[in-house]
Amino acid sequence: MNIDDLKKKVQDSYNNWNENTYKKTISKFPERLKNFTTLSFTEVKPLYLPTDSSLENYNENLSYPGAYPFTRGVQPTMYRGRFWTMRQYAGFGTAKESNERYRYLLSQGQSGLSVAFDLPTQIGYDSDDSMALGEVGKVGVAIDTLADMEILFDQIPLDKVSTSMTINAPASVLLAMYIAVAEKQGVGRDKISGTIQNDILKEYVARGTYIYPPKPSMRLITNIFEFCSKEIPKWNTISISGYHIREAGSTAAQEVGFTLADGMAYVHAAINAGLDVDEFAGQLSFFFNAHNDLFEEIAKYRAARRLWAKIMKERFGAKKDKSMMLRFHTQTAGSTLTAQQVDNNIIRVTIQTLAAVLGGTQSLHTNSRDEALALPTEESVKIALRTQQIVAYESGVTNTIDPLAGSYYIESLTDQIEKEAEEYINKIDAMGGVINAIEAGYIQTEIQKSAYRFNHELESNERTVVGVNKFAENEEKNNNLLKIDEKVQREQIEFLNKIRAQRNNNEVKTKLDALRKAAEGTDNVMPYILDAVKVYASIGEICNTMREVFGEYKERVVI
Protein backbone atom coordinates (compact mmCIF):
# COMPACT_ATOMS: atom_id res chain seq x y z
CA MET A 1 0.00 0.00 0.00
CA ASN A 2 1.52 3.33 -1.02
CA ILE A 3 1.52 6.38 1.21
CA ASP A 4 -1.46 8.06 -0.51
CA ASP A 5 -3.62 4.95 -0.19
CA LEU A 6 -2.60 4.62 3.45
CA LYS A 7 -3.52 8.24 4.16
CA LYS A 8 -6.92 7.76 2.54
CA LYS A 9 -7.56 4.59 4.54
CA VAL A 10 -6.73 6.30 7.82
CA GLN A 11 -8.76 9.40 6.96
CA ASP A 12 -11.82 7.38 5.88
CA SER A 13 -11.63 5.38 9.10
CA TYR A 14 -11.34 8.57 11.15
CA ASN A 15 -14.27 10.25 9.39
CA ASN A 16 -16.49 7.27 10.20
CA TRP A 17 -15.35 7.20 13.85
CA ASN A 18 -15.69 10.96 14.21
CA GLU A 19 -19.21 11.08 12.80
CA ASN A 20 -20.61 8.08 14.66
CA THR A 21 -18.86 8.34 17.99
CA TYR A 22 -17.07 11.54 18.88
CA LYS A 23 -19.74 14.07 17.94
CA LYS A 24 -22.50 12.17 19.74
CA THR A 25 -20.45 11.88 22.91
CA ILE A 26 -18.98 15.38 23.00
CA SER A 27 -22.46 16.91 22.81
CA LYS A 28 -23.02 15.69 26.40
CA PHE A 29 -20.24 17.97 27.67
CA PRO A 30 -20.86 21.47 26.28
CA GLU A 31 -18.46 23.03 28.78
CA ARG A 32 -15.60 21.25 26.99
CA LEU A 33 -17.05 21.74 23.49
CA LYS A 34 -14.87 24.61 22.42
CA ASN A 35 -11.76 25.21 20.36
CA PHE A 36 -8.56 24.85 22.34
CA THR A 37 -5.26 26.51 21.58
CA THR A 38 -1.78 26.36 23.03
CA LEU A 39 -0.58 29.28 25.18
CA SER A 40 0.86 30.68 21.94
CA PHE A 41 -2.60 30.49 20.29
CA THR A 42 -1.91 27.51 18.02
CA GLU A 43 -5.09 25.52 17.42
CA VAL A 44 -5.21 22.09 19.06
CA LYS A 45 -7.27 19.37 17.37
CA PRO A 46 -9.36 17.10 19.60
CA LEU A 47 -7.61 14.03 18.18
CA TYR A 48 -4.42 13.49 16.21
CA LEU A 49 -3.93 10.69 13.68
CA PRO A 50 -1.12 9.28 11.51
CA THR A 51 -2.35 11.59 8.73
CA ASP A 52 -1.21 14.52 10.87
CA SER A 53 2.40 13.32 10.63
CA SER A 54 4.66 11.52 8.16
CA LEU A 55 2.90 8.18 8.75
CA GLU A 56 6.30 6.52 9.19
CA ASN A 57 5.16 5.08 12.51
CA TYR A 58 1.65 4.13 11.38
CA ASN A 59 0.20 1.36 13.53
CA GLU A 60 -2.97 -0.01 11.98
CA ASN A 61 -3.89 -1.75 15.24
CA LEU A 62 -3.68 1.41 17.34
CA SER A 63 -7.38 2.12 16.78
CA TYR A 64 -9.24 5.12 18.22
CA PRO A 65 -10.18 6.18 21.74
CA GLY A 66 -13.37 4.45 22.82
CA ALA A 67 -12.84 1.60 20.34
CA TYR A 68 -11.44 -1.91 20.84
CA PRO A 69 -8.76 -2.63 22.04
CA PHE A 70 -8.95 0.75 23.82
CA THR A 71 -5.20 1.47 23.70
CA ARG A 72 -5.99 5.18 23.31
CA GLY A 73 -8.61 5.30 26.07
CA VAL A 74 -11.97 3.85 27.03
CA GLN A 75 -14.04 6.92 26.13
CA PRO A 76 -14.22 8.42 22.64
CA THR A 77 -13.75 11.93 23.98
CA MET A 78 -11.55 11.31 27.04
CA TYR A 79 -10.73 14.68 28.67
CA ARG A 80 -12.11 16.67 25.73
CA GLY A 81 -15.41 15.45 27.14
CA ARG A 82 -14.84 15.75 30.86
CA PHE A 83 -11.95 15.50 33.30
CA TRP A 84 -11.17 12.48 35.41
CA THR A 85 -12.77 12.33 38.87
CA MET A 86 -10.53 14.09 41.37
CA ARG A 87 -10.97 11.74 44.29
CA GLN A 88 -8.71 12.45 47.28
CA TYR A 89 -8.26 9.48 49.64
CA ALA A 90 -9.13 10.64 53.16
CA GLY A 91 -10.31 9.43 56.52
CA PHE A 92 -8.99 9.57 60.07
CA GLY A 93 -10.18 9.56 63.66
CA THR A 94 -13.92 9.53 64.13
CA ALA A 95 -16.65 9.69 61.50
CA LYS A 96 -17.35 13.30 62.52
CA GLU A 97 -13.74 14.40 61.90
CA SER A 98 -13.62 12.63 58.54
CA ASN A 99 -16.96 14.10 57.49
CA GLU A 100 -15.53 17.57 58.11
CA ARG A 101 -12.51 16.75 55.89
CA TYR A 102 -14.78 15.39 53.11
CA ARG A 103 -16.94 18.48 53.09
CA TYR A 104 -13.82 20.67 53.03
CA LEU A 105 -12.43 18.77 50.03
CA LEU A 106 -15.75 18.99 48.17
CA SER A 107 -15.82 22.73 48.81
CA GLN A 108 -12.33 22.98 47.27
CA GLY A 109 -13.42 21.39 43.99
CA GLN A 110 -12.94 17.66 44.62
CA SER A 111 -15.43 15.73 42.49
CA GLY A 112 -15.66 12.40 44.34
CA LEU A 113 -14.95 10.87 47.74
CA SER A 114 -12.44 8.15 48.63
CA VAL A 115 -12.75 6.67 52.11
CA ALA A 116 -9.79 5.40 54.12
CA PHE A 117 -10.76 3.04 56.96
CA ASP A 118 -8.69 2.29 60.06
CA LEU A 119 -7.03 -1.11 60.45
CA PRO A 120 -9.63 -2.61 62.84
CA THR A 121 -12.38 -1.80 60.32
CA GLN A 122 -10.28 -3.24 57.48
CA ILE A 123 -10.02 -6.61 59.20
CA GLY A 124 -13.49 -6.72 60.70
CA TYR A 125 -12.92 -5.86 64.35
CA ASP A 126 -14.93 -3.49 66.53
CA SER A 127 -13.11 -0.61 68.19
CA ASP A 128 -13.36 -2.26 71.62
CA ASP A 129 -11.80 -5.53 70.45
CA SER A 130 -8.41 -6.33 72.01
CA MET A 131 -7.01 -6.59 68.46
CA ALA A 132 -7.92 -2.92 67.87
CA LEU A 133 -5.90 -1.53 70.77
CA GLY A 134 -3.82 1.45 69.68
CA GLU A 135 -5.09 1.41 66.08
CA VAL A 136 -8.52 3.05 66.26
CA GLY A 137 -8.76 5.99 63.85
CA LYS A 138 -5.02 5.97 63.12
CA VAL A 139 -4.70 5.19 59.40
CA GLY A 140 -8.31 5.87 58.50
CA VAL A 141 -11.75 6.43 59.94
CA ALA A 142 -13.20 4.05 62.54
CA ILE A 143 -16.52 2.48 61.52
CA ASP A 144 -18.29 0.14 63.92
CA THR A 145 -21.98 0.41 63.01
CA LEU A 146 -24.39 2.06 60.62
CA ALA A 147 -24.53 5.00 63.05
CA ASP A 148 -20.90 5.84 62.20
CA MET A 149 -21.65 5.71 58.46
CA GLU A 150 -24.63 8.01 58.93
CA ILE A 151 -22.31 10.57 60.54
CA LEU A 152 -19.58 10.01 57.93
CA PHE A 153 -21.89 11.02 55.08
CA ASP A 154 -23.93 13.65 56.91
CA GLN A 155 -24.83 16.55 54.55
CA ILE A 156 -23.25 14.72 51.61
CA PRO A 157 -25.89 13.84 48.97
CA LEU A 158 -25.14 10.29 47.81
CA ASP A 159 -27.11 10.71 44.58
CA LYS A 160 -24.73 13.51 43.53
CA VAL A 161 -21.34 12.39 44.90
CA SER A 162 -19.69 9.09 43.96
CA THR A 163 -17.71 7.31 46.66
CA SER A 164 -14.79 4.92 46.52
CA MET A 165 -14.21 2.77 49.60
CA THR A 166 -10.83 1.14 50.13
CA ILE A 167 -12.10 -1.96 51.86
CA ASN A 168 -11.52 -5.62 51.04
CA ALA A 169 -12.27 -8.50 53.42
CA PRO A 170 -15.36 -6.78 54.96
CA ALA A 171 -16.33 -5.01 51.70
CA SER A 172 -19.79 -6.60 51.77
CA VAL A 173 -20.48 -5.03 55.19
CA LEU A 174 -19.34 -1.51 54.27
CA LEU A 175 -21.24 -1.65 50.99
CA ALA A 176 -24.37 -2.68 52.91
CA MET A 177 -23.88 0.25 55.30
CA TYR A 178 -23.49 2.65 52.35
CA ILE A 179 -26.72 1.37 50.78
CA ALA A 180 -28.53 1.78 54.10
CA VAL A 181 -27.28 5.38 54.51
CA ALA A 182 -28.40 6.22 50.96
CA GLU A 183 -31.86 4.79 51.63
CA LYS A 184 -32.10 6.88 54.81
CA GLN A 185 -31.33 9.92 52.63
CA GLY A 186 -34.13 8.88 50.28
CA VAL A 187 -31.68 7.90 47.52
CA GLY A 188 -32.62 4.79 45.55
CA ARG A 189 -30.15 2.01 44.87
CA ASP A 190 -30.21 2.81 41.17
CA LYS A 191 -28.97 6.35 41.91
CA ILE A 192 -25.85 5.65 43.99
CA SER A 193 -22.47 5.31 42.30
CA GLY A 194 -19.00 4.44 43.44
CA THR A 195 -16.56 1.61 43.99
CA ILE A 196 -15.53 -0.87 46.64
CA GLN A 197 -11.98 -2.18 46.35
CA ASN A 198 -13.10 -5.73 47.26
CA ASP A 199 -9.87 -7.26 45.86
CA ILE A 200 -8.91 -9.99 48.31
CA LEU A 201 -6.33 -11.76 46.13
CA LYS A 202 -3.83 -8.92 46.33
CA GLU A 203 -4.24 -8.96 50.12
CA TYR A 204 -2.74 -12.44 50.21
CA VAL A 205 0.10 -11.24 47.95
CA ALA A 206 1.04 -7.74 49.03
CA ARG A 207 -1.02 -6.13 51.78
CA GLY A 208 -2.30 -8.53 54.45
CA THR A 209 -5.74 -7.24 55.47
CA TYR A 210 -7.50 -10.53 54.84
CA ILE A 211 -9.94 -12.37 57.11
CA TYR A 212 -11.23 -15.53 55.45
CA PRO A 213 -9.50 -18.19 53.32
CA PRO A 214 -9.55 -17.75 49.51
CA LYS A 215 -12.57 -19.96 48.72
CA PRO A 216 -15.15 -18.23 50.98
CA SER A 217 -13.58 -14.87 50.13
CA MET A 218 -14.22 -15.52 46.44
CA ARG A 219 -17.79 -16.52 47.29
CA LEU A 220 -18.35 -13.18 49.03
CA ILE A 221 -16.97 -11.33 46.02
CA THR A 222 -19.16 -13.18 43.52
CA ASN A 223 -22.16 -12.63 45.82
CA ILE A 224 -21.45 -8.89 45.57
CA PHE A 225 -21.15 -9.14 41.76
CA GLU A 226 -24.54 -10.83 41.55
CA PHE A 227 -26.26 -8.51 44.02
CA CYS A 228 -24.96 -5.30 42.41
CA SER A 229 -25.68 -6.42 38.84
CA LYS A 230 -29.35 -6.57 39.83
CA GLU A 231 -29.64 -3.90 42.53
CA ILE A 232 -26.95 -1.22 42.03
CA PRO A 233 -26.25 -0.81 38.31
CA LYS A 234 -23.95 2.21 38.68
CA TRP A 235 -21.68 0.60 41.27
CA ASN A 236 -18.21 -0.73 40.49
CA THR A 237 -18.20 -4.03 42.34
CA ILE A 238 -14.43 -4.42 42.54
CA SER A 239 -11.29 -2.37 42.06
CA ILE A 240 -8.75 -4.96 41.00
CA SER A 241 -5.63 -3.52 42.48
CA GLY A 242 -2.11 -3.35 41.14
CA TYR A 243 -1.33 -0.42 43.42
CA HIS A 244 -0.23 -2.47 46.40
CA ILE A 245 1.65 -4.91 44.18
CA ARG A 246 3.72 -1.98 42.89
CA GLU A 247 4.13 -0.54 46.39
CA ALA A 248 5.55 -3.91 47.47
CA GLY A 249 8.29 -3.50 44.86
CA SER A 250 7.06 -4.99 41.59
CA THR A 251 8.04 -3.77 38.13
CA ALA A 252 5.50 -2.09 35.84
CA ALA A 253 5.04 -5.29 33.80
CA GLN A 254 4.57 -7.35 36.98
CA GLU A 255 1.97 -4.86 38.19
CA VAL A 256 0.01 -5.33 34.95
CA GLY A 257 0.50 -9.09 34.69
CA PHE A 258 -0.34 -9.98 38.30
CA THR A 259 -3.27 -7.54 38.45
CA LEU A 260 -4.87 -8.84 35.26
CA ALA A 261 -4.29 -12.42 36.45
CA ASP A 262 -6.24 -11.53 39.61
CA GLY A 263 -8.95 -10.02 37.40
CA MET A 264 -9.17 -13.21 35.38
CA ALA A 265 -9.61 -15.22 38.59
CA TYR A 266 -12.57 -13.04 39.59
CA VAL A 267 -14.14 -13.42 36.15
CA HIS A 268 -13.69 -17.21 36.28
CA ALA A 269 -15.23 -17.33 39.77
CA ALA A 270 -18.25 -15.30 38.69
CA ILE A 271 -18.81 -17.42 35.57
CA ASN A 272 -18.48 -20.60 37.66
CA ALA A 273 -21.11 -19.17 40.01
CA GLY A 274 -23.52 -19.00 37.06
CA LEU A 275 -23.20 -15.35 36.01
CA ASP A 276 -22.99 -14.33 32.36
CA VAL A 277 -19.80 -12.38 31.64
CA ASP A 278 -21.66 -9.45 30.06
CA GLU A 279 -23.91 -9.18 33.15
CA PHE A 280 -21.10 -8.25 35.53
CA ALA A 281 -17.92 -7.41 33.60
CA GLY A 282 -18.98 -3.82 32.95
CA GLN A 283 -18.94 -3.21 36.72
CA LEU A 284 -15.33 -4.32 37.15
CA SER A 285 -12.74 -1.59 37.64
CA PHE A 286 -9.01 -1.46 38.30
CA PHE A 287 -6.64 0.48 40.54
CA PHE A 288 -3.07 1.25 39.48
CA ASN A 289 -0.02 2.97 40.87
CA ALA A 290 1.53 6.08 39.28
CA HIS A 291 5.29 5.85 39.73
CA ASN A 292 8.16 8.18 38.82
CA ASP A 293 9.19 6.96 35.35
CA LEU A 294 6.83 9.14 33.33
CA PHE A 295 6.88 7.34 29.99
CA GLU A 296 6.97 3.83 31.42
CA GLU A 297 3.87 4.58 33.48
CA ILE A 298 1.99 6.01 30.48
CA ALA A 299 2.87 2.92 28.45
CA LYS A 300 1.83 0.68 31.35
CA TYR A 301 -1.74 2.00 31.37
CA ARG A 302 -2.05 1.70 27.59
CA ALA A 303 -0.70 -1.87 27.64
CA ALA A 304 -3.05 -2.87 30.47
CA ARG A 305 -6.09 -1.56 28.58
CA ARG A 306 -5.15 -3.37 25.39
CA LEU A 307 -4.29 -6.66 27.08
CA TRP A 308 -7.46 -6.72 29.21
CA ALA A 309 -9.63 -6.03 26.15
CA LYS A 310 -8.07 -8.99 24.35
CA ILE A 311 -8.43 -11.25 27.40
CA MET A 312 -12.11 -10.42 27.84
CA LYS A 313 -12.92 -10.83 24.16
CA GLU A 314 -10.78 -13.85 23.31
CA ARG A 315 -10.74 -15.83 26.57
CA PHE A 316 -14.12 -15.04 28.05
CA GLY A 317 -16.17 -14.32 24.96
CA ALA A 318 -17.37 -10.90 26.11
CA LYS A 319 -19.54 -9.21 23.50
CA LYS A 320 -20.29 -5.80 25.01
CA ASP A 321 -17.68 -3.07 24.63
CA LYS A 322 -18.15 -2.13 28.29
CA SER A 323 -17.18 -5.66 29.32
CA MET A 324 -13.83 -5.26 27.54
CA MET A 325 -12.97 -1.81 28.87
CA LEU A 326 -10.34 -1.52 31.55
CA ARG A 327 -11.49 1.48 33.58
CA PHE A 328 -9.12 2.45 36.36
CA HIS A 329 -8.43 4.68 39.32
CA THR A 330 -4.87 5.82 39.96
CA GLN A 331 -3.05 6.83 43.12
CA THR A 332 0.37 8.41 43.09
CA ALA A 333 3.10 6.20 44.58
CA GLY A 334 3.31 6.34 48.34
CA SER A 335 6.56 4.38 48.25
CA THR A 336 8.29 7.23 46.40
CA LEU A 337 7.53 9.82 49.08
CA THR A 338 10.54 10.71 51.21
CA ALA A 339 10.67 11.84 54.82
CA GLN A 340 13.65 13.99 53.83
CA GLN A 341 12.95 17.35 52.13
CA VAL A 342 9.19 16.72 52.06
CA ASP A 343 8.47 19.57 49.63
CA ASN A 344 10.29 17.56 46.94
CA ASN A 345 7.34 15.19 47.12
CA ILE A 346 5.15 17.85 45.49
CA ILE A 347 7.30 17.58 42.34
CA ARG A 348 7.24 13.78 42.43
CA VAL A 349 3.46 13.79 42.72
CA THR A 350 3.18 16.24 39.82
CA ILE A 351 5.18 13.93 37.54
CA GLN A 352 3.05 10.98 38.63
CA THR A 353 -0.13 12.99 38.04
CA LEU A 354 1.00 13.71 34.48
CA ALA A 355 1.66 10.00 33.95
CA ALA A 356 -1.83 9.04 35.10
CA VAL A 357 -3.52 11.71 32.99
CA LEU A 358 -1.47 11.09 29.86
CA GLY A 359 -2.19 7.40 30.40
CA GLY A 360 -5.95 7.99 30.45
CA THR A 361 -7.04 7.42 34.05
CA GLN A 362 -10.73 7.69 35.03
CA SER A 363 -10.08 8.98 38.55
CA LEU A 364 -7.05 10.06 40.54
CA HIS A 365 -5.81 10.54 44.08
CA THR A 366 -2.68 12.63 44.56
CA ASN A 367 -0.64 11.94 47.70
CA SER A 368 0.30 14.77 50.02
CA ARG A 369 3.85 15.96 50.62
CA ASP A 370 3.98 14.95 54.32
CA GLU A 371 2.56 11.41 54.08
CA ALA A 372 5.96 9.78 54.63
CA LEU A 373 5.74 11.22 58.14
CA ALA A 374 2.06 11.22 59.12
CA LEU A 375 -1.49 11.57 57.89
CA PRO A 376 -1.64 14.72 55.75
CA THR A 377 -2.54 18.11 57.11
CA GLU A 378 -5.37 20.10 55.55
CA GLU A 379 -2.85 22.43 53.86
CA SER A 380 -0.98 19.48 52.32
CA VAL A 381 -4.20 17.91 51.07
CA LYS A 382 -5.14 21.18 49.37
CA ILE A 383 -1.77 21.36 47.56
CA ALA A 384 -2.26 17.76 46.38
CA LEU A 385 -5.72 18.58 45.03
CA ARG A 386 -4.47 21.80 43.41
CA THR A 387 -1.81 19.71 41.62
CA GLN A 388 -4.58 17.81 39.81
CA GLN A 389 -6.47 21.01 39.05
CA ILE A 390 -3.42 22.78 37.59
CA VAL A 391 -2.68 19.80 35.35
CA ALA A 392 -6.34 19.74 34.26
CA TYR A 393 -6.84 23.43 33.61
CA GLU A 394 -3.40 24.89 32.88
CA SER A 395 -1.01 22.30 31.42
CA GLY A 396 -2.69 21.78 28.04
CA VAL A 397 -2.33 17.98 28.24
CA THR A 398 -6.10 17.56 28.39
CA ASN A 399 -6.82 19.55 25.23
CA THR A 400 -6.30 16.64 22.87
CA ILE A 401 -6.98 12.94 23.27
CA ASP A 402 -4.00 10.63 23.95
CA PRO A 403 -1.38 13.16 22.81
CA LEU A 404 1.52 10.67 22.94
CA ALA A 405 -0.01 8.09 20.59
CA GLY A 406 2.40 7.18 17.80
CA SER A 407 5.52 8.15 19.76
CA TYR A 408 8.24 5.66 18.85
CA TYR A 409 9.26 5.35 22.51
CA ILE A 410 5.72 5.13 23.94
CA GLU A 411 4.54 2.56 21.40
CA SER A 412 7.67 0.44 21.90
CA LEU A 413 7.31 0.55 25.69
CA THR A 414 3.61 -0.28 25.41
CA ASP A 415 4.37 -3.34 23.30
CA GLN A 416 7.17 -4.45 25.64
CA ILE A 417 5.10 -4.15 28.83
CA GLU A 418 2.19 -5.96 27.20
CA LYS A 419 4.52 -8.78 26.10
CA GLU A 420 6.13 -9.16 29.55
CA ALA A 421 2.78 -8.98 31.37
CA GLU A 422 1.33 -11.64 29.07
CA GLU A 423 4.31 -13.90 29.81
CA TYR A 424 3.56 -13.65 33.54
CA ILE A 425 -0.10 -14.46 32.92
CA ASN A 426 0.88 -17.52 30.88
CA LYS A 427 3.18 -18.73 33.70
CA ILE A 428 0.32 -18.34 36.19
CA ASP A 429 -2.03 -20.19 33.83
CA ALA A 430 0.47 -23.06 33.68
CA MET A 431 0.43 -23.24 37.49
CA GLY A 432 -3.35 -23.66 37.49
CA GLY A 433 -4.36 -20.08 38.16
CA VAL A 434 -3.58 -17.20 40.47
CA ILE A 435 -4.68 -18.86 43.74
CA ASN A 436 -2.27 -21.74 43.11
CA ALA A 437 0.45 -19.22 42.24
CA ILE A 438 -0.19 -17.33 45.49
CA GLU A 439 -0.21 -20.50 47.60
CA ALA A 440 3.05 -21.61 45.97
CA GLY A 441 4.60 -18.21 46.76
CA TYR A 442 5.42 -17.55 43.09
CA ILE A 443 3.96 -14.05 42.84
CA GLN A 444 5.35 -12.96 46.20
CA THR A 445 8.82 -14.21 45.27
CA GLU A 446 8.83 -12.40 41.91
CA ILE A 447 7.87 -9.14 43.61
CA GLN A 448 10.53 -9.64 46.30
CA LYS A 449 13.23 -10.15 43.65
CA SER A 450 12.28 -6.88 41.92
CA ALA A 451 12.13 -4.99 45.22
CA TYR A 452 15.56 -6.32 46.22
CA ARG A 453 17.08 -5.32 42.90
CA PHE A 454 15.72 -1.77 43.12
CA ASN A 455 16.88 -1.29 46.72
CA HIS A 456 20.32 -2.69 45.91
CA GLU A 457 20.68 -0.17 43.07
CA LEU A 458 19.55 2.61 45.41
CA GLU A 459 21.97 1.66 48.17
CA SER A 460 24.85 1.34 45.69
CA ASN A 461 23.99 4.78 44.23
CA GLU A 462 23.21 3.32 40.81
CA ARG A 463 19.86 5.08 41.19
CA THR A 464 19.37 8.53 42.64
CA VAL A 465 16.64 9.72 44.97
CA VAL A 466 17.06 13.45 45.46
CA GLY A 467 17.43 14.40 49.10
CA VAL A 468 18.11 10.80 50.17
CA ASN A 469 21.29 9.48 48.55
CA LYS A 470 22.17 12.70 46.71
CA PHE A 471 21.71 16.42 47.53
CA ALA A 472 20.95 15.54 51.17
CA GLU A 473 20.65 18.23 53.84
CA ASN A 474 20.55 18.42 57.60
CA GLU A 475 16.96 19.14 58.48
CA GLU A 476 15.12 20.28 61.57
CA LYS A 477 12.36 18.06 62.92
CA ASN A 478 8.97 18.79 61.30
CA ASN A 479 6.45 19.53 64.06
CA ASN A 480 3.64 20.64 61.75
CA LEU A 481 2.11 17.16 61.45
CA LEU A 482 -1.38 15.82 61.92
CA LYS A 483 -1.60 13.73 65.09
CA ILE A 484 -4.54 11.54 66.11
CA ASP A 485 -5.51 12.16 69.72
CA GLU A 486 -5.48 9.03 71.90
CA LYS A 487 -8.96 9.98 73.15
CA VAL A 488 -10.37 8.92 69.75
CA GLN A 489 -10.39 5.25 70.79
CA ARG A 490 -12.11 6.04 74.09
CA GLU A 491 -14.77 8.20 72.39
CA GLN A 492 -15.34 5.59 69.69
CA ILE A 493 -15.85 2.81 72.25
CA GLU A 494 -18.25 5.00 74.25
CA PHE A 495 -20.29 5.67 71.11
CA LEU A 496 -20.33 1.97 70.17
CA ASN A 497 -21.59 1.03 73.65
CA LYS A 498 -24.28 3.71 73.37
CA ILE A 499 -25.52 2.22 70.08
CA ARG A 500 -25.53 -1.29 71.57
CA ALA A 501 -27.64 -0.04 74.47
CA GLN A 502 -30.13 1.76 72.22
CA ARG A 503 -30.68 -0.87 69.52
CA ASN A 504 -33.02 -3.86 69.67
CA ASN A 505 -30.58 -6.64 70.57
CA ASN A 506 -33.13 -9.38 69.99
CA GLU A 507 -33.45 -8.15 66.41
CA VAL A 508 -29.67 -8.12 66.07
CA LYS A 509 -29.45 -11.73 67.26
CA THR A 510 -32.20 -12.80 64.84
CA LYS A 511 -30.50 -11.15 61.87
CA LEU A 512 -27.07 -12.56 62.75
CA ASP A 513 -28.55 -16.07 63.11
CA ALA A 514 -30.10 -15.70 59.64
CA LEU A 515 -26.74 -14.57 58.25
CA ARG A 516 -25.01 -17.58 59.81
CA LYS A 517 -27.47 -19.98 58.18
CA ALA A 518 -27.03 -18.25 54.80
CA ALA A 519 -23.24 -18.49 55.10
CA GLU A 520 -23.53 -22.19 55.93
CA GLY A 521 -25.68 -22.72 52.83
CA THR A 522 -25.47 -21.43 49.28
CA ASP A 523 -27.66 -18.30 49.42
CA ASN A 524 -26.28 -14.92 48.41
CA VAL A 525 -25.27 -13.41 51.77
CA MET A 526 -25.60 -9.74 50.75
CA PRO A 527 -29.32 -9.37 51.63
CA TYR A 528 -28.65 -10.94 55.05
CA ILE A 529 -25.71 -8.62 55.73
CA LEU A 530 -27.87 -5.66 54.73
CA ASP A 531 -30.60 -6.78 57.15
CA ALA A 532 -28.05 -7.05 59.97
CA VAL A 533 -26.56 -3.65 59.21
CA LYS A 534 -29.97 -1.98 59.29
CA VAL A 535 -30.59 -3.11 62.89
CA TYR A 536 -27.14 -1.70 63.85
CA ALA A 537 -25.24 -4.96 64.16
CA SER A 538 -21.56 -4.02 64.34
CA ILE A 539 -18.90 -4.87 61.80
CA GLY A 540 -17.21 -7.11 64.36
CA GLU A 541 -20.42 -9.01 65.08
CA ILE A 542 -21.13 -9.54 61.38
CA CYS A 543 -17.56 -10.56 60.50
CA ASN A 544 -17.28 -12.84 63.54
CA THR A 545 -20.51 -14.57 62.49
CA MET A 546 -18.91 -15.36 59.14
CA ARG A 547 -15.58 -16.23 60.81
CA GLU A 548 -17.41 -18.99 62.70
CA VAL A 549 -18.53 -20.48 59.38
CA PHE A 550 -15.63 -19.69 57.03
CA GLY A 551 -12.66 -19.75 59.39
CA GLU A 552 -9.62 -17.43 59.15
CA TYR A 553 -6.77 -17.46 56.65
CA LYS A 554 -3.28 -18.19 57.95
CA GLU A 555 -0.46 -17.07 55.70
CA ARG A 556 1.89 -19.72 54.39
CA VAL A 557 5.49 -18.77 54.98
CA VAL A 558 7.62 -19.41 51.89
CA ILE A 559 11.38 -19.60 52.51
| Predicted pLDDT at 8 | 62
Average pLDDT over residues 160-186: 96
Least confident range from 53-57, 267-271, 522-526: namely 53-57
Show the CA angle centred on residue 506, arms to residues 505 and 507, nearest 5°.
Answer: 90
Tens of pLDDT, residues 375-406? 888 899 999 999 999 999 999 999 998 999 98
Least confident range from 34-43, 155-164, 457-466, 522-531: namely 34-43
User: Who has greater pLDDT, 460 or 23?
Assistant: 460
In the predicted structure, residue 117 carries a pLDDT above the cut 50: yes
Residue environment code for 44-69, b if the CB has 16+ CB neighbours within 10 A, otherwise e: eebbbbbbeeeeeebeeebbbbbbeb
Mean pLDDT of all residues belonging to the chain: 90
Q: pLDDT band for 450, please (50, 70, 90 cuts).
A: very high
Q: pLDDT band for 370, please (50, 70, 90 cuts).
A: very high
Tens of pLDDT, residues 299-328? 999 999 999 999 999 999 999 999 999 999
Tens of pLDDT, residues 470-491? 999 987 776 677 677 778 899 9
Least confident range from 183-187, 267-271, 471-475, 534-538: namely 471-475
| Predicted pLDDT at 141 | 95
Tens of pLDDT, residues 6-25? 556 556 656 665 655 656 66
* Domains within the chain, CATH numbers bracketed: 3-52 (no CATH), 154-459 (3.20.20.240), 495-550 (no CATH)
Average pLDDT over residues 107-114: 86
- For 108-163, where are the alpha helices, taking DSSP H only? 119-122, 146-152
CA dihedral 384, 389, 394, 396 (to 10 degrees): 100
| Predicted pLDDT at 60 | 57
Say what percent of the chain tops pLDDT 90.
75
The helix/strand/coil state of 541 is helix
Average pLDDT over residues 186-200: 94
In the predicted structure, residue 74 carries a pLDDT above the cut 80: yes
Distance CA 519, CA 219 (A): 10
| Predicted pLDDT at 1 | 44
Q: pLDDT band for 2, please (50, 70, 90 cuts).
A: low
How buried is 221 (Cβ within 10 angstroms: 0-12 exposed, 13-18 middle, 19+ buried)? buried
Look up the pTM and report it.
Answer: 0.87
Say what percent of the chain tops pLDDT 70.
90
Q: pLDDT band for 547, please (50, 70, 90 cuts).
A: very high
| Predicted pLDDT at 433 | 95
Distance CA 215, CA 225 (A): 15
Average pLDDT over residues 217-228: 95
